[in-house]
């Protein structure tokens, strides 16, 4: 049995789906179901005997203690987090509560559970914390990619809150001996991605005939990682990672945001052409840049390949086409998740024209 937190979100949901497709070890899935959590993502598991979903908060110590005592998991994989930079700028407190306070309370609950296990179970137990490359700050255009030894220099409330959570996880290993692992990933994309992030937002808006908002000049560079590759990396780190270690997970795909959107438009032009015969690229619209927008992230994932033999299966070209085709085939999922408060938020962030 494993316990997954945040398992109804984008990355966590994909992880749970892949885990249960690949093995028969049961999953207890704890998710608060905030705006980005969606049980429809887990619809195919509705009658799966190995999936036990619990709606709740990682900061609810009594609930977490009960789940740990009842299910006796051999590992906890912590995906639960507020994760969108824009939202952290307009409402940072939620990020501190979930990413810092929530992680602290989860660690306390797990430490108490782990401390009471028999020696053999203690030795086998793992706490895997899923984090982000944004904790490292921003890179100059020609600077080497982030390694696990790069200094933390977070620049947004989101990345600062994740940096704090990473430090807590490290401290619980060094102070208490809790057997932890940490992964820091680059920008994920793929199925079931909440459409506030660049790729799903632009697919959604393109099909709706709305502007495709690009911050600033669109030359912000990110490394792009297909979510299924990220899930396979987490499984590998859980299986064989060295205790207390950090592993960077990247796709070796540095792309400027504008180039990403142009690629999306070209694929959509092939897969579902506009009725007027024009390219979706005609809908690209430049908007005021994000406050404190980091210019470049890049992940050096060579440690993960060298120590554990992992490397991504997808190139950006193969992964992005799979992603576009998934969204085209799953418009009902998109329609359900983009109603209500999502429309209010996009209007606030990018202007009312996006919701016209």
Catalytic residue among 158, 189, 215, 297: 158
Beta bridge partners of 223: 254
Q: Are 214 and 275 in contact (CB under 8 A)?
A: no
300/203 Cα distance (integer angstroms) = 28
Catalytic residue among 31, 82, 134, 314: 134
Catalytic residue among 82, 86, 133, 196: 133
Sheet of 254-256, strands arranged across: 187-189, 221-226, 254-256
Beta bridge partners of 51: 27
For residue 134, indicate whether it is catalytic: yes
> What are phi and psi for residue 130, nearest 5 degrees?
-95, 120
For residue 133, indicate whether it is catalytic: yes
249/27 Cα distance (integer angstroms) = 23
What is the DSSP-derived secondary structure letter of residue 144?
P
236: tokens are 């590998």
Beta bridge partners of 55: 31
- Residue 185's SS3 state is strand
> What are phi and psi for residue 6, nearest 5 degrees?
70, 30
Q: Are 96 and 59 in contact (CB under 8 A)?
A: no
1/13 Cα distance (integer angstroms) = 17
175/141 Cα distance (integer angstroms) = 38
For residue 113, indicate whether it is catalytic: no
Q: Which residues carry out catalysis?
A: 133-134, 158
């Amino acid at each position: 049995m494993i316990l997954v937190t945040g398992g109804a979100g984008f990355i966590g949901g994909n992880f749970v789906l892949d885990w249960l497709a690949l093995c028969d070890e049961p999953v207890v899935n704890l998710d608060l179901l905030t705006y980005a959590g969606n049980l429809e993502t887990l619809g195919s598991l509705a009658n799966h005997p190995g999936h036990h979903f619990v709606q709740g908060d990682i900061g609810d110590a009594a609930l977490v203690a009960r789940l740990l005592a009842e299910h006796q998991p051999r590992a906890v994989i912590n995906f639960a987090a507020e994760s969108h930079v824009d939202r952290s700028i307009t409402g940072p407190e939620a990020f501190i509560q979930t990413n810092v306070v929530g992680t602290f309370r989860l660690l306390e609950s797990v430490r108490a559970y782990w401390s009471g296990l028999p020696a053999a179970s203690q030795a086998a137990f793992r706490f895997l914390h899923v984090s982000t490359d944004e904790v490292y700050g921003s890179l100059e255009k020609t600077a080497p990619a982030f390694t696990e030894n790069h200094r933390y220099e977070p620049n947004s409330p989101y990345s600062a809150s994740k940096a704090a959570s990473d430090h807590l996880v490290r401290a619980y290993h060094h102070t208490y001996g809790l057997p932890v692992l940490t992964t820091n990933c680059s920008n994920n994309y793929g199925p079931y991605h909440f459409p506030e992030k660049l790729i799903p937002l632009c697919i959604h808006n393109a099909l709706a005939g709305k502007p495709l908002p690009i911050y600033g000049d669109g030359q912000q560079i990110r490394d792009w990682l297909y979510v299924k590759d990220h899930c396979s990396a987490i499984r590998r780190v859980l299986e064989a990672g060295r205790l207390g270690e950090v592993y960077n997970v990247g796709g070796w795909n540095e792309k400027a945001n504008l180039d990403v959107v142009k690629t999306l438009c070209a694929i959509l032009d092939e897969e579902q052409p506009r009725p007027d015969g024009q390219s979706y690229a005609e809908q690209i619209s430049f908007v005021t840049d994000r406050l404190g927008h980091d210019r470049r992230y890049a992940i050096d994932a060579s440690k993960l390949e060298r120590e554990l033999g992992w490397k991504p299966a997808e190139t950006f070209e193969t992964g992005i086409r799979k992603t576009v085709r998934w969204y085209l085939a799953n418009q009902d999922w998109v329609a359900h998740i983009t109603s209500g408060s999502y429309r209010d938020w996009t209007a606030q962030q990018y202007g009312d024209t996006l919701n016209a």
